[in-house]
Amino acid sequence: MIQKMQSSRFLLKLTIMMIGGFAFLQVYSIQAILPVLMEHFSASKVQAGLTVGVTVMAVAIISPVMGMFSDAVGRKSLIVICMLLIVFPTALLSISENITQIKLWRFLQGLFVPGVTVVTIAYISEEFPDRLASMLSLYVSGTVLGGFSGRFLIGYLHSIVGWQTGYLIFAGLMLIGVIWAALVLPASKNFVVSGNFRSSLHILRQHIQNPHVLTACALGACVLFSLVSIFTFINLHLADDPYYLSSANLANIFTVYLIGMLITPLTAKLIHNVGIANSLLLAIMSSIIGALITLCSPLWLIIVGLIIMSSGVFISQATTISHISQHVNQGRSLASGLYYMCYYTGGSIGAWVCGISYTYFGWSGVVFTVVLLQIVALNIVFFGIKLAKRTTP
């Protein structure tokens, strides 16, 4: 009996990680083949960056709406349906004839991602309140694994069968994920249907006036701005003189994400030992140091910098999600939607701003732009969290 319970818990944890993984399998995968797309479609650096930016922009736009919709209709069914809807634009990427079509299908992918990400966080908050930090850390680890797998696989698939066939394979993998989630993820037990649209607007107003939510949203924007900027344009930097890395070798660079997957589950212990504010300060300082190290010339030292930088970013993400979950008692999906709107708006702006920085100033322009944002994040932690504590009854 005990063995059966342990097996069931393991399968549940694996499923939560899997959902996070499949949600992010597509979002950043295209980063590994940006140099290939630039050559194939004669695209500029800014256009290449926007193939990442349009996806995160779509996620930002739809996240609050998906949060309100989920609070009204439920959790599991919406997660499964949105995973299924991601399959179609993923398959259509394989027949794209120009960079505009690539951006269109990538935008459609982004529209359905919040139905997985936003709703899964709300699901975890409701179903596992006694294991919130650990379950959220598992979910974030899954997103890290998905982000790595997407970049790693498409880089190698391109070198073997071409990126077009690679995205058809991705569509098949997503379909497997849909079936898995439908069969294994338990139905919600603690979900309470939101009364009506007016009550959702009232909850939305409460969230907007909640300093904890606002602080987490601002930090989320800084987190993804940095992550998208660094891991989009590092590919162009390393594909250029003096490195000339191939798509497969660029895919190998993303193994640094696996370090993040190992570190993220430790976030719960870090928060317990030093608190949320100190955890964020340590994480942000790590991101700044890591980003600056990538300015060095040796490839091995750039990789070390990416490991330090990404680890800090992953800890920041897990900590901000825990912060917002701990300070929201109702309308959790809507709160998650607001967080992800700001989070992905930051990523979309990062892809655009750092595309310009890279065009005019090269890799150093990207790094110093990211460091400036991380300094802003430090100030948000110093003043935002203190203000939130002071104004909370």
Write the pLDDT tens digit of every residue in 73-107: 778 889 999 999 999 999 999 999 999 999 999 99
Max mean pLDDT range (159-173, 275-289, 371-385)? 159-173
Domain holding 47: CATH number? 1.20.1250.20
pLDDT in the model for residue 113: 92
User: Using one digit for the tens of pLDDT, what is the confidence trace for 329-347?
Assistant: 666 667 777 887 888 889 8
Residue 145 predicted with pLDDT over 90? no
pTM: 0.78
User: Using one digit for the tens of pLDDT, what is the confidence trace for 221-270?
Assistant: 998 899 889 988 998 999 888 999 888 888 888 888 777 667 766 777 77
Distance CA 62, CA 3 (A): 42
User: In the chain, what percentage of residues exceed pLDDT 90?
Assistant: 36
- Under the banding of pLDDT at 50, 70 and 90, the label for residue 44 is confident
Specify the range with the lowest mean pLDDT, choosing from 57-66, 197-206, 237-246.
Answer: 197-206
pLDDT in the model for residue 311: 86
If one counts every other C-beta atom within 10 angstroms of the C-beta of residue 100, the result is: 11
pLDDT in the model for residue 361: 93
> Taking all residues of the chain, what is their mean pLDDT, rounded to a whole number?
85
User: Using one digit for the tens of pLDDT, what is the confidence trace for 147-158?
Assistant: 889 989 998 999
User: Which residues span the domain enclosing 20?
Assistant: 2-391
Residue 197 predicted with pLDDT over 60? no
Question: How far lies 232's CA from each of 33, 157, 333, in Å?
Answer: 10, 19, 29
- Under the banding of pLDDT at 50, 70 and 90, the label for residue 121 is confident
Q: Which amino acid type is present at position 19?
A: I
User: Using one digit for the tens of pLDDT, what is the confidence trace for 350-393?
Assistant: 988 998 999 999 999 999 999 999 999 999 888 877 665 655 54
Q: How many domains does the chain have?
A: 1
pLDDT in the model for residue 260: 64
Q: Which residues, in sequence order, are CB contacts of 19 under 8 Å at separation 6+?
A: 79, 83, 116, 120, 139, 142, 177, 181, 185
- Under the banding of pLDDT at 50, 70 and 90, the label for residue 287 is very high
Find the angle CA(197)-CA(203)-CA(206) to the nearest 5 degrees.
150
pLDDT in the model for residue 303: 93
pLDDT in the model for residue 389: 60
Distance CA 376, CA 280 (A): 13
pLDDT in the model for residue 46: 85
Specify the range with the lowest mean pLDDT, choosing from 33-37, 60-64, 154-158, 220-224.
Answer: 60-64
